[in-house]
Structure 1
Amino acid sequence: MARLELSAAVLILHFLCVVTQVRSADYFLTVGGGYAPTGNQISLEKNVHFFQHVLEARYPAGPVQHDIFFSDGDDPGRDLQYVDAEAKLPRVNLLLATIFRKTNYLNHRYRSHQVPGVTGATTRSNLADWFVEEGAQLKAGDRLVVYVTAHGGKSKDKKRPENTQLFLWNNQPILMTELTRHLDKLPAEVPVVLVMVQCYSGGFANVIFKEGDSSKGLAQPNRCGFYATVQTRPAAGCTPDINEENYHEYSSYFWAAILGATRTGQAVSSCDYNEDGVVSFSEAHAYALLTSSTIDISVKTSDAFLRAYSEYPKPGSKGNRRKRRRDERPPQPVVRLWHPDSAFADLLDLARPEERVVLQGLSGQLEFFESRRARQAQTVASRLAKENKDGLSNRNKMRGQYDKLAARIRREVINRWPELANPWHPSAATIIQKEADAIVECVESHKGYKRFSQLRRRLNRLSQEQLNRDRKWAKCQRLIRTLENVALAANLPHVASAGRQIEYARLLGAEMATLGAGQ
């Protein structure tokens, strides 16, 4: 009943927002690229291309304004990293790089990026100026959509782990709290939607709070966002591979759901889970959760809201309401709160349509069928984590053997060609070019080379096995978090004030919106 009351409030508020606010125009701000040429993979460029394609399809007349900041802007320098599939790496270079332990960037090429219509470089000053000069010109009824396809880092503040970083060009960081201050410069009547796919991007879900701090309450402007992963983990996806069929990062799924087709043109089955005729942002997020087989644990702003202002019983408690906070509703009759490990069928009844699809779909993929679904997921996740920990220990031991063999082979090469001890020796390039066959023979005929090659293959296999376990672990976490979301939302009317419930309804309304003229 509580969830029904909240759902009714959501629908009423969403309807009122639609009929009383005529959106004037959508504006778009894209922040893309890496922190340096060696971290500016071609997939980031192609992400921008795909987003431009999505906008062309959803806004046939063209968006009112799309400002793009990408890497070094219009500088003609070679800022973009890619792998040339046609280029063949000489055997001698591969072997030397392997035994000298210098394989990073070995087969990468560089060119100037090819993002059309770039506004400027991704610098702190350019972004700050945009919010002051362009952002301030937005008016009531407009909406700003911000897409970030870049790199990110953990928070450096142990007391504020949510204050994660977005890396701009030339290794310039911008913190979650800094972006919050930039968003505060926009007119309060302008709603903002953020889609951010960098590592540790989940920290930026806190831009919905005043000063990025949930203890200070929800910020007045209507903001919502969708993020590739939680604030404590790297995200999947950045690659110098030019083949877009191999791109599996969060926004590939998110925008494909909105568009109805993948970035390679393959049709996507309808993601209109509530059958209202459109695919909302929250439904696109659900599609990514369900379809992506990566290490990502994707989150959205309503997740952050619920974890700040709702609760569920702790293990061992009787499930009753605890002492209320100042901003909560007055004491009510004691009720039993929902828990993520409540009966799965009951939580399924409480879930919204897109949540229900995720819960059922992930359960099927993981072959989880027990009633206490969260407990089953946690048990499997714990086992996978232990296996990865044990596997890492085995890999480290094997890595030690591998490194010792590399050192032995390396010494033999250096004894014969001492100049190669330093790859920048003026004679090194000439030696590698003229004596390539002899160097290859020296390496491959070494008595330890066969074992060295075997260890390399085994290490690669162990790495892949660890990645596969991490991907399954991530799916377990997605399922657990979705169960938590359902329980927290159902409990919100019992632990939060009416004002908080209205704020949550408003936030859900923003997440239930979509792209497109007239939507």
Structure 2
Amino acid sequence: MKAHWPFALLMVLGAGAVVAEDRVWLVGGGPHASGSQVSIELNTRWIADWLREEGLQDGLRIRYNDGDAPGADVKLRPRGEGTGEGPDLTPLVYVFGAPSTAGERYRNHRVRGVEGTTVVGPLVTALEADVQELESGDDLWFLYQGHGLQDPEDHSRNTLRLWGDTELSVRRLEGLLDRLEPGVTTRFFFPQCYSGGFARLMYDDPADPDALAGGRCGFLAQAPDRQSEGCTPSIEAGEYRDYSTYFFAALTGERRTGEALERDPDRDGDGRVSLREAHLHALATADSADLSRATSEAFLEDWEPWWLRWVGTAGVPDNVYGNLAVEVAADRGLDPTDPMPAVHQGLDRTKREWERLRRELDTARERIRELQRTVRERAEERWPALASRYSTAALEQLMHDPEPVLDWLRADPDYPALVEAIHRQRRLEAEELAVQRERAGYERVLRLRRLARLKARFERFASEEERAAYRELVACESWVPGEP
């Protein structure tokens, strides 16, 4: 694979020593400790370390969870349940708690160089102060790692979920970006659920997709109304399938586990990898439930007039999306020249499988609740204090001498059935995720073919003003890190 140019936002403009005041804002974490999975932290650390290696420490601003507060704010699950000091409390979790949390631990985050919290008030204040320092010719890259929420009625009100259960909406972030000096280029990366709503930042008014704001573009993991993949308490980074994993693998030149990439992301062969090429690499190689998108693609979809659906296009056009559709179809074992019969069959089959799995999961969860109730009632007869698990008596029992309770729970005649029911639920959930990923692969072929036709029709029917706006977006997305 070809060597990549160093990723550097600091640049010298012209012969004079005019240094651009560029910024990279890396904002990560969850809304609270239980929603701050270690995968978010590991992604943030991976990206931050790479940015530092490329000499970006002076322009890097990192905000994570509660800042430098010493309390535990990251949730993780070490290898195997019961891992850690003290007795294995898994039986208590299985019977009295939420089985999905078994084996989870909490610790303080390990992100270096954090400048503050992500609570929306202090975060916005810091952003406002920072953007006021930027001038024409400068660059701002806003990178997010975390969760999102949607407003089903208005996607311009979709939000980032920040620490302290605070939120930052598309509209509020757009208002902040409006304060930038003309000529400052803003790029953004949003991998969270419902992130497609943030594509509207490219417009002057996110609620009215009409005129582009100019100098804004970005990349998003998912549609405005769909959840994205990622956010797990597992520490196994090699298992991560989120958009960030594929996107930044293309920019760093290797998988996050250190292995070489199976496919060169340098699609135009110029020896450099742009942000747009990193996105296309994710589209081509991701084995995930995401249907990631760039602002230029969202622009094409917003532009499409109602009558265009009746305009025919022979075959799949020979453009970047048509070529990607062929690649993705071939990678999935489909006939690249005519994948549609297999795609439609696959969509029908995965829909049926998903519906079956949902029914089986509902049954499995009800079985778990019944067994929990049965074992819990027996345990409360033996230790009445457990009926009020937060009472002083119960806490004293569980904190000072939990082994008798743990041994009794393990010996209960229905406990093995409860364990098996919980393991069955996990197997079904893993099958469900696999089906979702397979289905997304078929949907990706469909979407790429649609984008290929839409791009060809745009080139045929769009006005010159619309073409210029599209070219501006593509140019913004095609930025090669380290270049103006």
User: What is the TM-score when the length of structure 1 is the normalising length?
Assistant: 0.82
> Which of the residues 259, 276, 280 maps onto 2:270?
276
> Which of the residues 97, 112, 115 maps onto 2:93?
97
Query: Which residue number corresponds to residue 48 of structure 2?
Result: 52
C-alpha contact (below 8 Å) 1:214/1:308 kept by paired residues: no
C-alpha contact (below 8 Å) 1:378/1:480 kept by paired residues: no
Query: Which residue number corresponds to residue 463 of structure 1?
Result: 429
Query: Which residue number corresponds to residue 285 of structure 1?
Result: 279
**Do structure 1's residue 237 and structure 2's residue 227 form an aligned pair?**
no
1:63 Cα offset (Å): 5.2
1:416 counterpart letter in structure 2: R
Moved more, 162-171 or 110-119: 110-119
2:184 counterpart letter in structure 1: V
> Which of the residues 69, 74, 79 maps onto 2:73?
79
1:208 Cα offset (Å): 0.5
Query: Which residue number corresponds to residue 247 of structure 2?
Result: 254
Query: Which residue number corresponds to residue 330 of structure 1?
Result: none
Deviations 1:61-105 (A, max 9, x none): x45511112111222333233334593487762112212243354
**Do structure 1's residue 177 and structure 2's residue 171 form an aligned pair?**
yes
Query: Superposed, which structure 2 residues align to 1:290-369 within 5 Å?
Result: 290-311=284-305, 319-320=310-311, 337-338=312-313, 343=315, 346-347=316-317, 349=318, 351-352=319-320, 355=321, 358-369=324-335
1:67 counterpart letter in structure 2: R
> Which of the residues 146, 168, 186 maps onto 1:192?
186
C-alpha contact (below 8 Å) 2:322/2:448 kept by paired residues: no
Deviations 1:397-444 (A, max 9, x none): 233233222211221111111111122122224434676554345434
Separation in structure 1 between the aligned mates of residue 416 and residue 432 of structure 2, nearest angstrom: 24
1:490 Cα offset (Å): 0.8
C-alpha contact (below 8 Å) 1:92/1:439 kept by paired residues: no
Count, aligned residues: 466
Aligned partner of residue 212 in structure 1, secondary structure: coil
Query: Which residue number corresponds to residue 6 of structure 2?
Result: none
Separation in structure 1 between the aligned mates of residue 338 and residue 451 of structure 2, nearest angstrom: 16
Aligned partner of residue 27 in structure 2, secondary structure: strand
Query: Which residue number corresponds to residue 163 of structure 1?
Result: 157
Aligned partner of residue 270 in structure 1, secondary structure: coil
1:389 counterpart letter in structure 2: E
> Which of the residues 449, 456, 464 maps onto 1:490?
456
Aligned partner of residue 157 in structure 2, secondary structure: coil
Query: Superposed, which structure 2 residues align to 1:110-149 within 5 Å?
Result: 110-149=106-145
Change (3 A) 1:215 1:27: closer
Separation in structure 1 between the aligned mates of residue 258 and residue 328 of structure 2, nearest angstrom: 25
**Do structure 1's residue 209 and structure 2's residue 203 form an aligned pair?**
yes
2:239 counterpart letter in structure 1: N
Moved more, 288-297 or 465-474: 288-297
**Do structure 1's residue 416 and structure 2's residue 378 form an aligned pair?**
no
Separation in structure 2 between the aligned mates of residue 375 and residue 311 of structure 1, nearest angstrom: 27
Moved more, 438-447 or 499-508: 438-447
2:375 counterpart letter in structure 1: I
1:137 counterpart letter in structure 2: E
1:367 counterpart letter in structure 2: G
Change (3 A) 1:93 1:163: same
Separation in structure 1 between the aligned mates of residue 442 and residue 275 of structure 2, nearest angstrom: 23
Query: Which residue number corresponds to residue 501 of structure 1?
Result: 467
C-alpha contact (below 8 Å) 2:43/2:145 kept by paired residues: yes
Query: Superposed, which structure 2 residues align to 1:351-430 within 5 Å?
Result: 351-352=319-320, 355=321, 358-369=324-335, 371-374=337-340, 376-430=342-396
1:420 counterpart letter in structure 2: L
Separation in structure 1 between the aligned mates of residue 343 and residue 208 of structure 2, nearest angstrom: 29
Aligned partner of residue 173 in structure 1, secondary structure: strand
Pairwise CA RMSD of aligned residues?
Answer: 2.7
Separation in structure 1 between the aligned mates of residue 412 and residue 108 of structure 2, nearest angstrom: 42
Query: Superposed, which structure 2 residues align to 1:470-481 within 5 Å?
Result: 470-481=436-447
Moved more, 466-475 or 257-266: 257-266
Change (3 A) 1:198 1:215: closer
C-alpha contact (below 8 Å) 2:385/2:393 kept by paired residues: yes
1:279 Cα offset (Å): 0.9
Change (3 A) 1:215 1:223: closer
Separation in structure 2 between the aligned mates of residue 312 and residue 367 of structure 1, nearest angstrom: 34
C-alpha contact (below 8 Å) 1:145/1:193 kept by paired residues: yes
Change (3 A) 1:38 1:444: closer
1:50 counterpart letter in structure 2: W
Separation in structure 2 between the aligned mates of residue 63 and residue 439 of structure 1, nearest angstrom: 52
Separation in structure 1 between the aligned mates of residue 113 and residue 364 of structure 2, nearest angstrom: 50
Moved more, 249-258 or 23-32: 23-32
Deviations 1:182-214 (A, max 9, x none): 111111211111111121111101111122134
C-alpha contact (below 8 Å) 2:364/2:425 kept by paired residues: yes
Moved more, 473-482 or 127-136: 127-136
Structure 1 residue ranges without an equivalent (≥5) = 1-17, 321-336
Aligned partner of residue 232 in structure 1, secondary structure: coil
Query: Which residue number corresponds to residue 33 of structure 2?
Result: 37
Deviations 1:17-65 (A, max 9, x none): x99xx994542111111111222223222222222232234x34x4551
2:297 counterpart letter in structure 1: D
1:500 Cα offset (Å): 0.5
Structure 2 residue ranges without an equivalent (≥5) = 1-12
Query: Which residue number corresponds to residue 3 of structure 2?
Result: none
C-alpha contact (below 8 Å) 1:374/1:483 kept by paired residues: no
C-alpha contact (below 8 Å) 1:26/1:63 kept by paired residues: no
Query: Which residue number corresponds to residue 4 of structure 2?
Result: none
> Which of the residues 418, 421, 434 maps onto 1:452?
418
Change (3 A) 1:379 1:169: same
**Do structure 1's residue 225 and structure 2's residue 225 form an aligned pair?**
no
Change (3 A) 1:192 1:374: farther
User: What is the TM-score when the length of structure 2 is the normalising length?
Assistant: 0.88
Q: Percent identity?
A: 27
C-alpha contact (below 8 Å) 1:273/1:357 kept by paired residues: no
Separation in structure 2 between the aligned mates of residue 359 and residue 313 of structure 1, nearest angstrom: 24
Separation in structure 2 between the aligned mates of residue 207 and residue 75 of structure 1, nearest angstrom: 32
1:139 counterpart letter in structure 2: E
Aligned partner of residue 210 in structure 1, secondary structure: coil
Query: Which residue number corresponds to residue 256 of structure 2?
Result: 263
1:117 counterpart letter in structure 2: G
C-alpha contact (below 8 Å) 1:310/1:496 kept by paired residues: no
